[in-house]
Amino acid sequence: MHYFDYNSTVPVTSDARTAWTNANAEHWFNPSSPYLQGSSVRVRLDEARASFASLLGCQPKEIIFNSGATEGNNTAINYFSRTCERGKRILVSSIEHPSVREPASRLDKEKIQWVGVGSDGVVDLELIQDQITSGCIHAVSVMAANNETGVIQPWMEIQDICRSTGTLFHCDAVQWIGKLNCKDLGVVDFVTGCAHKFGGPKGCGFLKIPESSDHVSILQGGAQEGGYRAGTEDYPSIISMLAALNVANPIDSKLRDSFETELSRLVSGIEVVGGDSLRLANTSMLIMPQFENHRWVNRLSRRGFLVSTGSACASAKEGPSYVLKAMGIAQESASRAVRVSSSSSTDSHTWQLLAEAFCEVFLELQAEKPSSGIIAV
């Protein structure tokens, strides 16, 4: 099997698995318990929090451990809604992950302003700056890098604009963390991260919040996580998440670029979405010249190559990708979109095998005759 869906989820690394196993064997006590064993886990939890803060470049008390990015994104959007004054709006990009789009779309229409992207997949920075400097924007939510196309957003420039005007900024950095340097993320007000996107366990993540966040309320109950999020902390998963991030390696885009060149040679008519933009080095969103994407995915899967059609969190919903639609890509073309995403361990030989598998599938699909009325997938 050759896995090419790393933007969806990443297998747990050996370091993360070892950390989780050891913590469950030796440090399974409740961090809030008053006896020595519980206090020992509390100390280790605080050390893990300090390590995450150091990686992001923020203060330990600004790190809230949670269940993952969906919870973190919902928390940020709901906080913006509660604190938004009448007459002001929350600016959200049209290509955000469903865990941002859905809670935002459920707010009063007067509170939300959507900002589009160009054909390159990049948000309209000039519009964002104009809106923020006009004084009518309470908060902004723009992701660091898109999960479908891999296109990198100008989040650092947006952060500078927001900081200079006192505007709150939330950045979904799920696809950034573990692939690129995350040191500068600490200056952003709200940052969401998710362990299973970089080799940690599922059901674990974090939300970076501003130092002064009196109205941030996630779960009520006990006083865990500084009183922001009640519930016994899952220390084994947290230390496993940290272990995974500590061994995350950068990815060289040369392998992906060579794959795209070779595939374009083997299968004419392929379009690389966002090909002229800065992208995550592991991601390639392809518009195939013919045939719907689910047929490509199924045929490649039979050959042992696991690819996707886009966001796993949006795959259960009918219709083409809203990200591609926002980029001006026609529905028919979007229905032929296939996403490939690799890891730092994916070598050039495996990329070459994938290109050849695409070519085999293309020839196979072309050879089939739909006149029988039954088209195999």
Q: Structure tokens of 4?
A: 């090419």
Q: Which amino acid is at 266?
A: L
To the query of whether residue 313 is one of the catalytic residues in this protein, the response is yes
Q: Structure tokens of 60?
A: 């330990």
One of 84, 162, 313, 359 is an active-site residue; which one?
313
Assign residue 68 a region: left if phi > 0, alpha if psi is -120 to 50, beta otherwise?
A: left
How far is Cα 13 from Cα 10, in angstroms, rounded to an integer?
Answer: 8
Q: Structure tokens of 57?
A: 């470049």
User: Is there a contact between 239 and 193 (Cβ–Cβ < 8 Å)?
Assistant: no
Question: Angle 64-151-88 (CA atoms, 0-180°, nearest 5)?
Answer: 60
Q: Structure tokens of 45?
A: 């939890």
Residue-level length of the chain: 377
Question: Angle 321-208-56 (CA atoms, 0-180°, nearest 5)?
Answer: 95
Query: CA distances (Å), 272 to each of 252, 298, 326, 338, in order?
Result: 18, 20, 16, 10
Strand residues in 6-128 grouped as ranges (E)? 63-66, 89-93, 112-115
Backbone angles phi, psi at 290, to 5 degrees: -150, 160
The DSSP output letter for 6 is T
Q: How many helices and strands, by DSSP H and E, does the chain display? A: 12, 12
How far is Cα 195 from Cα 205, in angstroms, rounded to an integer?
Answer: 5
Cite the active site residues.
Answer: 313
